[in-house]
Each structure stands twice: as C-alpha cells, then as structure tokens.
Chains A and B, each alone.
Chain A
C-alpha cells in the first residue's frame, strides 16, 4: 500500500471531510467497559496490546496522521501560544523527542527511520516528507525546540510535567486537539490546581490517589487511562480560545443531523517517566467517532445509550453536553433493545 492510500486526505474544520474507514471504526477505543460510568483512577500498565488495536504500539499512528499534523500546523499558525515550554523544560523536550523517534522508528519502520552515531542523529519521516540531520541535545541544530519539533510530527496533545515539592507542575506542552482546556492558562500550575475545575472526582479522593501513583511512576513502566467527552462536528481544536467559533454549533444539532454531527471524543492518555529530566510526559491522544459509525457496533450502541442516559447531571454539564442529552438519548435509544452487554469494551466479533 502506498503512503497516499493509507493516509486520509481530510479536514477537521470548515467543510469537515474527516471520516473513519470501517477499519478505523472497528479499532476505535470505545471507553466504557460497563453500562455505567463514574470517575476512577483507572490506570493500567501501557504494555503492547492486541495487534491492530490502538494499543498495539507505544504510540498509535493511524490513517489520520498526515491530516492531523496539517491541522496542528494550521492551529499553531493562528495561535503560537498553543506550544510553550518554560526554559527548564528543554531537557524534558529532548527526552520526549527521543522517546517518540525511537518508538516510531521501531514500530513503523516503513514510515520512520532513526540512525544515530553518538549524538549525531538522522531522522526520516516519510509520510511528512522530512529528512533531518541534527545533534541530540543541541537545540541550534533543529528548526525549533525539541518538543515543538517532534510534536509537530506526532498525533495527540503532549504536556511535560516537572516533579518537585511532592507534586507535578505542567511546564511545557503542545496543545491543539484539546477538550476545552488551555495550556496558556494552565502552564505553571501544579497537579491539584490544573484539575480544580473537575467536579465530583476531588471528593472521591481520585486526584490524591492518582498523584501519589504518578510521583512513583518509573522509567520503563508507562501507564495509560481513558477519558472522554462529546464534540459536535469532528473538530480537533475545541479550545476555550476558539469557543465562539465552535460552541454555538451545539445549538444546531437536530434529530436529522445528530448521527453524522455528534461525535464521541475519546482520549487515550499515557504517562511516561522521562530518563534525563525525571519529568513526566503526558501524551493525550484524541480519537473521534460519529454516533452513526458507533452504532454500527451493536454492543457499543446499547452501552453508549445507557451511559449517556444515566450519567449524573454535573458530569454531563462539565463535559458540555447537558443541553443535547435528550436528543442524544432519543437517537441512541433506537439502537438499544435492552439486551445485556458483554463485559469489556471490545466490539463483539
């Protein structure tokens, strides 16, 4: 298969030509292992998973890769502050660059290659047509900082957390595919500060436990978890900065267009201890799937109906879909015959 056949030519704004192939729908990381949902720490080791699944490799590169990188460049051009790195985080940026380059080259040798001779590195990214020779740990040999350089070539948002005073501090990041939060606002905050807006979870003690777990995260033992929300139209950049552009879209959902326009937005979040900087990398990879595609899997259709119907109001409000919940439930109920669902989130074979 040639590069052009594998990677979609599509857009995540304007005419929204984004589309999941049948294969992409089947491997969509549906985030609900049960028929109801509540916050939990829900972290598990990030070890290679089923072949073909989004867990097969350390980082998933899928059919949307080229288009997502084009979308990132577009967003950055409009708003350069989506990428920021405080001066002491440069070393963590190099750690991240190494992690991504080594993983990509190992897991997708048909697309990426990395050759090293000491600190002289040669990176080839065929899908994006990049051929770069540079000196590892020498910023002057790259066109931009190491974190920006590599995250312009990797799907998903990335933040880098420094660890000190028994907490984590978000002090660098590339954030253009976010579920309504702002790096420019959060940068410099610690773990409890940036999670302050999340309802319910604080009272459950979720953040205290999660932080204790993360402070002990070890190099070589990454972990992962899911998060999810809802997005009208396949827009990656649902940022607070651009809310006036996408927020009103929620008011134009109808019975007729909801199947095509309403998307379940899933984040596969992974956490890696970085070796040289002792920082933690937090890749947040966003997957979108329309309701109409989701309901092609009968198990997901039944379960999504039940989760959306029964979610506590404060969570539906926080996730920004309380207004359209009745419409979603009405649409999804057509596909729920009340039959029991099997445990776990994989679609039925």
Chain B
C-alpha cells in the first residue's frame, strides 16, 4: 500500500474515445459522495484486475479541481506496453467498479509565479488541463504551448482554445510547426515559472534550453511518469522478509513484491517520487536503472534500486525488503 490513505471505491460513468489513441474515463464515488478536492498536476493510481494480474497505473487528473462530482483521466493506448493501457482501453466500460487512490501531486503549481508558462507534448497535456482550470479560477496569468503530431492526435485542443482563448498556442509536427523555444523563453517576464510534461526528449530539450539561458532551477518544473519497461524474467532474494521471488517479463519488481505480500511504499510507480527506494545488499549482474530518482553514483555503485521501474539481469540480486 502507498503511504497512508485508503483507496476510493468508484464507478466508471463515462468512457469516451477522444481520438484513435486516447480514451477518457470518468469516475464517481460508489457511495455517491464528493471526491476529495485536488490541486492541478495531481495524479491518481488506478487499480486494475487484469485477468488475475493486479496492475496499478498512475494517471494525471485532467478535470477542473473545483468540480468534486468526479475525476477524469485520459489514457493513451500503448501497444508495446505491459498491458495496463490496453486493459483500460478494451475492458473498462461504464458501470464498472474500480479502486483508485486519493490524489497525490508530484507536479504542483508554484503559486508564487508571476506567470505560468506551460509546455505540453501529446498526452502530457492532461495535468495542464487541471492546472489551467485552477489558475483561471484564481485569476492567475498563464500561457500554454501544446505540440502534437497532427490535428487528429491533438487531444482537447478545440476545447482548450474555447476555454482559454489566445492563451493556448498549438503546434503540429506534420505541418512543420515547432515551438520556437529560445524566443519564447527570452520573452518571458521576470518571475515566470516554466512547466513541461511530455515525451522524455521534449522534457530534456526544454529543461536544458532553459538552464542554458540562465533560468533558475526553482522556476523549472517537469513531470514524466515512466511506464515500467518489459524484459526478461529475473529472480530476487528478499533479505528482510526471507523470500525469493521471480519477476515476470511484463511485471515490475514492485508488482512482484506486492504479489508476494511484501510491503513497499509508493506514490507514483513511475520512477519519480522516491518512495519505493530499496537498498541493494548484493548485486552479481546488471541493474537497468530506469528511474529519475537515484543519483548517478547510486546507480553506478548499484547501492540502491527503484523496484517500480528497474530490472535486473545476472546471477544474483539481494535487496533489503
């Protein structure tokens, strides 16, 4: 279980095909009560029972934080993934009962900002939708630059323009449009905070450009949840609980721990929050460190592992769980 709060039993009330890759899901409380309030940028962890396999995926809340009647998420189908998004796309129907976590925010707004500059790529738009609704209600100044492959895949662009007008700027790759980042960043007023959410390449490009232009670290915010990668099955010895477990090809080490009833805390399950950090006692082989959390030193020395996204190949791995 994650740190603390109890899961929320919900009913799926809407499943909407947004485009050929993305579906939107709406959840309301099973008991008819209000959802907890949340802050723009927060996510929920959706629990799936995928034919006997328990999957837990984090999705950004995209609805208006002022609306406590329900939560909405958007899921992009990942054909090559482990199956969580495919399960959401093919099995989750209106009327279904599910469990979701209370909101957690690892991508919060900095309300000190004089202006909020947001850069989104593809499905990375979802946390910004909630943030813009919240900033709009607060009367704060913001601007969105949203890039997608083409018009069809630019989810919610029309709605966003309708809601926020000229504060929304659209870019389509296939039409040869690209964000002119240097110019954009050079023209921002003092006290602007920069937020980016999208593919890894975009995040690196935005953060490195801003850093090179002298933006302070505290004014830069990004979020990238990694989907746990698939790989070869591997065996792990758990020193604290005295168990030995096998991690399946489409399973994460964190999921294998949970299946063996070994407790490991988590918030994001995507290599970002640091909660599941675990000491490595012995590593005779190679750890694929797929997280954003551990330092380069910790990765090089294999002193720690993030069970949510990292995998192992080799003779023996012993961890402190």
Contact = CB atoms under 8 A, between A and B. Distances in A.
A163 B108 contact: yes
Interface string A76-101: 00000000000111010001001000
Given A218-B2, A218-B102, A276 B39 contact: yes
A217 interface: yes
A163 B42 CA distance: 14
Interface string B1-39: 011111000000000000000000000000000001111
A220 B108 contact: no
How many residues of A sit at the interface, in one of the four size bands? 20 to 34
In this complex, the member of B2, B5, B39 whose beta carbon has the largest number of chain A beta carbons within 10 angstroms is B39
Contact of A164 (B37, B108, B138): B108
Interface string B77-101: 0000000000000000000000000
A45 B6 CA distance: 12
A219 B218 contact: no
Contacts of A221: 3-6, 102
B103 interface: yes
Contacts of B134: 276
B102 A88 contact: no
B77 to A, nearest CB: 29
Interface string B53-93: 00000000000010000000000000000000000000000
A337 interface: no
B111 A219 contact: no
B110 interface: yes
Interface residues of B, number: 29
Name, among A88, A98, A276, A277, the residue most crowded by chain B CB atoms within 10 Å (CB to CB).
A276
A137 interface: yes
B273 interface: yes
Nearest to B218: A165
A125 interface: no
B275 interface: yes
A227 interface: no
Secondary structure call for the B interface:
loop
Given A165-B218, A275-B38, A218 B108 contact: no
A170 B265 CA distance: 27
Contact of A218 (B3, B111, B218): B3
Interface string B295-314: 00000000000000000000
A196 interface: no
A276 B41 CA distance: 11
A98 B5 CA distance: 19
A280 B218 CA distance: 19
A164 B4 contact: no
Interface string A270-294: 0000011110000000000000000
B161 interface: no
A208 to B, nearest CB: 13
A239 B173 CA distance: 61
Nearest to B112: A88
Interface string B129-173: 000001001100000000000000000000000000000000000
Nearest to A277: B39
Given A165-B218, A278-B39, A219 B5 contact: yes
A216 interface: yes
A158 B37 CA distance: 21
26 contacts: A89-B111, A91-B111, A164-B110, A165-B218, A216-B273, A217-B4, A218-B3, A219-B5, A219-B103, A220-B6, A220-B36, A221-B4, A221-B6, A221-B102, A223-B4, A275-B36, A275-B37, A275-B38, A275-B39, A276-B37, A276-B38, A276-B39, A277-B111, A278-B39, A278-B41, A278-B42
